[in-house]
Amino acid sequence: MLKTRVITAVVLLAILLPVLFQSSPWPFAWVTVAMMGAAGWEWTRLNGLPGSGAIAGGVTLALACVWTLLIGGLNAPPFWVWSLASLVWVLGGAYALRAGPAGWPRIARGARLALGALLLWGAWLAIVQAKVLGINFILSVFCLVWMADIAAYFCGRAFGKRKLAPSISPGKSWEGVWGGLAGVILLGFVWVHVIDVRLAVDSPSLYTLLVQRHGWVSLLALVFLAAMSVVGDLFESLVKRAVGAKDSSNLLPGHGGVLDRIDALLPVFPLALALISL
């Protein structure tokens, strides 16, 4: 199992790292179109349309991303796009988590499919725009999510006692969440005072931009983004638990599916763009 995970991770890095570190954002944009197409296929399968229906869902989402590139290129969308995505994630995420796995199937399938397509498209658009803003910026957002996840994992194992959402993800604890938040705050401090100052970066990081625009309130913004990464993770777990699935698919041997790898990123990228656009 470990060997399979390592091989898959090496292959993914061999594909993603070259396009991520290219100065032009176009190769990265096209690679992420394929990624979101796969995620759309997984989402459609999880919500009751297997076989050719799932393939059609993935292709439709990928074509929507391609159409977006063709009509707008890599131009920044209006602020209302990030505002709408933020509203959907905050209010919709709260509603879904409160309803739990039992409440998810009660939503009409068409509404579930449309919601997933909208959230995936918005996340893709935000990820591409983050690449346009610079390599340092997009890495700072990725690392925020990874730090929140890694710190939560180790703090949860060491100190976890109070379950966060036992009906959705029994392994998560409130102590893990607090550890993740502390890790993100520490990461932001290091990025602002060390990486952005002492290294030859190509762009300001998310953390520096938040400080420049919002001052001390940027601390609350980091806490909010870290918390929303947990919401993204729990939301995907809720959908899988509602249909009795362990993974979103087996597209990535040893890692599950694409959604399993990007679930926490989905709310964070559009919300990060919204916060720096205020």
How many residues in total does the chain contain? 278
Residue 1: its pLDDT value, please? 61
Let me know: does 130 contact 265? Beta carbons within 8 Å: no
Residue 50: its pLDDT value, please? 87
Burial 148-159 (b: 16+ CB within 10 A, else e): bbebbbebbeee
Residue 204: its pLDDT value, please? 96
212 contact partners, CB below 8 Å, separation of at least 6: 204
In order along its 278 residues, the chain shows pLDDT tens digits of 667 888 888 988 899 999 999 989 999 999 999 999 999 999 999 998 889 999 999 999 999 999 999 998 899 899 999 999 999 999 999 889 998 999 999 999 999 999 999 999 999 999 999 999 999 999 999 999 999 999 999 999 999 889 998 889 888 999 999 999 999 999 999 999 999 999 999 999 999 999 999 998 999 999 999 999 999 999 999 999 998 998 898 888 888 899 999 999 999 999 999 999 98
Token output for 123: 């996340």
Rounded Cα distance, 83 and 103, in Å: 26
For the beta carbon of residue 172, count every other beta carbon within 10 angstroms: 22
Cα dist from 216 to 113, 219, 261, whole Å: 39, 6, 32
Residue 6: its pLDDT value, please? 82
Residue 4: its pLDDT value, please? 83
3-state DSSP assignment of residue 22: coil
For the whole model, what pTM was predicted?
0.94
Token output for 213: 């625009």
In the chain, where does DSSP find H-type helix?
Answer: 2-20, 26-46, 52-72, 79-87, 93-103, 109-133, 135-159, 174-190, 196-198, 206-214, 217-243, 258-262, 265-277
Rounded Cα distance, 121 and 69, in Å: 12
